[in-house]
Amino acid sequence: MTKKIAVLPGDGIGPEIVAEAVKVLECLKRDYGFSFEIEEGLIGGAAIDETGGPLPESTLKLSKDADAIILGAVGGYKWESLDISIRPEKGLLGLRSELSLFSNLRPAILYPQLAAASTLKPEVVSGLDLMIVRELTGGIYFGQPRGVRTLDNGEKQGYNTLIYKESEIERIGRSAFEIAQKRNRKLCSVDKANVLECTELWRETMTELSKEYPDVELSHMYVDNAAMQLVRAPKQFDVMVTTNMFGDILSDCAAMLTGSIGMLPSASLNAQNQGMYEPIHGSAPDIAGKGIANPIATILSVSMMLRYSLDEPGLADNIDKAVNDVLDKNLRTADIYTEGSKKVATEEMGDAIVAAMKKNMWDSAGGIGNPEECARSGGMSNDEY
Ligand code: NAD
């Protein structure tokens, strides 16, 4: 069945990196027979300029009707002085809540070829492949009551509420158990059950839920220890599941282990596995328009989309392999460049990944066709492949 994909390039480097992701999708259509329709929409600053608001009704409708959404990034200097209620970022938050995207998947993968780019010792991080599942629409970021009040003695007091219903914990728990089933079947639930009653309930609910997933090994860890273990021995983890705020912090920490923000994709899913897929980085206004942004995080977001929303794990594997292949070929955008490798621009990196996908297809077909033609149509010179 033809899938509907909403494409929201956004601001800054968004349009540049999304263009490369679309090339990958076009390759899947042309060479792998993957049937989809793309419709583009405005979001963030681009939408503010055009329509006066960061999330136009047409974009919301397009996104609701789609099987999945690919998003570039939003924001930039130009819109920083606007009132916070109509800034570009509101477009993103609006989509998350309108589509009930409660499950945020943040993989942290370190390609062995980039081990030197991490701030940690290569032996600690090389081969790292973990997934953090963060609850995205509840917890202390949304809990009521919240605010800043003035006490009787005139002193101000700020307060927020950490609140989770059993059903919310169960919902994110299921998401995490199902992801663990598709990976190495180890799930670590992170909480602060020794201090916070709310996360005591979190732990009890996860334990109860684990009875339905006997093939997944569940463990529990306090968040302070989890932060320490992430930098001490991150490879012990397969999948981690945690609350909105703990996940916010731990996933940034895990991202840093891998060295470059330009390599990491993310997914935000709802109960129907409809998802929004985006790189974890922002719109990088400092390099926008220069053609040097790394498109790999966005291309890997397409891979996640195929795996988690569109049920096409084989096509996702192909993209992941192609990314690995170009790194093996020593091609690097500026953010991951090290001496001795070949520096390439955004478009060249996208073309190289498409060429590697075509080469993979040619290999798996037992060498039918002409690989040079494949490489040429992917935009690469023949000596690259
Ligand atoms: P950023 O992630 O945009 O950039 C941080 C640094 O990483 C910059 O030096 C940038 O050049 C670099 N970088 C980011 N992505 C890169 C890529 N693909 N290739 C090479 N280098 C890359 O974060 P920031 O500078 O704090 O924020 C810039 C704007 O993005 C702000 O308006 C912010 O609100 C917005 N933002 C948006 C999102 C989103 O759309 N999901 C997320 C974070 C920040």
Closest atom of ligand 1 to 286 CA is: 11
Residue 75 in contact with ligand 1 by CB distance below 6 A: yes
Residue 262 in contact with ligand 1 by CB distance below 6 A: yes
Q: What are the tens digits of pLDDT across the range 342-360? A: 999 999 999 999 999 999 8
153 pLDDT more than 90: yes
- What is the 312 CA–ligand 1 centroid distance (Å)? 29
369 pLDDT more than 90: no
Burial label for 319, CB within 10 Å (0-12, 13-18, 19+), is buried
Residue of 11, 104, 258, 261 with the most ligand 1 atoms within 8 Å of its CB, for mutation:
261
- Residue 368: the pLDDT is 53
14 pLDDT more than 90: yes
Kindly report the CA angle at 197 between 250 and 211, in degrees rounded to 5? 75
Closest atom of ligand 1 to 281 CA is: 2
- Please, what is the average pLDDT of the chain? 92
Which residues are annotated as catalytic?
141, 192, 224, 248, 252
Residue burial 158-178, b: 16+ Cβ < 10 Å; e: rest: eeeebebeeebbbbbbbbbbb
Whether 378 and 370 have beta carbons less than 8 Å apart is answered as: no
d(CA 203, CA 193): 7
Residue 3 in contact with ligand 1 by CB distance below 6 A: no
The pTM (predicted TM-score) of the whole model is 0.88
- What is the 55 CA–ligand 1 centroid distance (Å)? 20
| List of long-range contacts for 227-234, beta carbons under 8 Å, 24+ apart | 227/253, 230/254, 230/257, 231/120, 231/257, 232/124, 233/124, 234/108, 234/120, 234/124, 234/125, 234/128, 234/130
Q: What are the tens digits of pLDDT across the range 25-46? A: 999 999 889 999 999 999 999 9
- What is the 255 CA–ligand 1 centroid distance (Å)? 13
What domains are defined for the chain? 1-102+270-385 (3.40.718.10), 112-258 (3.40.718.10)
Closest atom of ligand 1 to 73 CA is: 40
The residue nearest atom 38 of ligand 1, judged by CA position, is 282
Residue 6: HSE in the Cβ half-sphere, 13 Å Cα cutoff: 24
Q: What are the tens digits of pLDDT across the range 78-99? A: 999 998 878 999 999 899 989 9
The residue nearest atom 23 of ligand 1, judged by CA position, is 282
Whether 97 and 132 have beta carbons less than 8 Å apart is answered as: no
d(CA 308, CA 295): 20
- Residue 126: the pLDDT is 87
Residue 335 in contact with ligand 1 by CB distance below 6 A: yes
Residue 145 preceded by cis peptide, ω within 30? yes
Burial label for 21, CB within 10 Å (0-12, 13-18, 19+), is buried
Residue of 276, 283, 294, 343 with the most ligand 1 atoms within 8 Å of its CB, for mutation:
283
- Residue 252: the pLDDT is 85
Confidence label for 383 from pLDDT (cuts 50, 70 and 90): very low
Whether 13 and 288 have beta carbons less than 8 Å apart is answered as: yes
Residue 45 in contact with ligand 1 by CB distance below 6 A: no
Residue 242 phi, psi dihedral angles, 5° rounding:
-160, 180
Confidence label for 370 from pLDDT (cuts 50, 70 and 90): low
β-pairing verdict for 186-191 and 342-343:
unpaired
- Residue 115: the pLDDT is 84
Q: What are the tens digits of pLDDT across the range 173-218? A: 999 999 999 899 999 999 999 999 999 999 999 999 999 999 999 9
Closest atom of ligand 1 to 14 CA is: 40
Residue 266 in contact with ligand 1 by CB distance below 6 A: no
Closest atom of ligand 1 to 75 CA is: 32
- What is the 296 CA–ligand 1 centroid distance (Å)? 14
Mean pLDDT of the 314-335 span: 95
Which one has a higher pLDDT value, 162 or 120? 162
382 pLDDT more than 60: no
52 pLDDT more than 50: yes
β-pairing verdict for 239-242 and 186-191:
parallel
9: left (phi over 0), alpha (psi -120 to 50) or beta: alpha
Mean pLDDT of the 324-339 span: 93
d(CA 278, CA 357): 21
- What is the 349 CA–ligand 1 centroid distance (Å)? 19
- What is the 281 CA–ligand 1 centroid distance (Å)? 5
Residue 283 in contact with ligand 1 by CB distance below 6 A: yes
d(CA 171, CA 307): 19
Question: If you compute the radius of gyration of the chain from its CA atoms, what whole number of angstroms results?
Answer: 21
Residue 92 in contact with ligand 1 by CB distance below 6 A: yes
- What is the 94 CA–ligand 1 centroid distance (Å)? 19
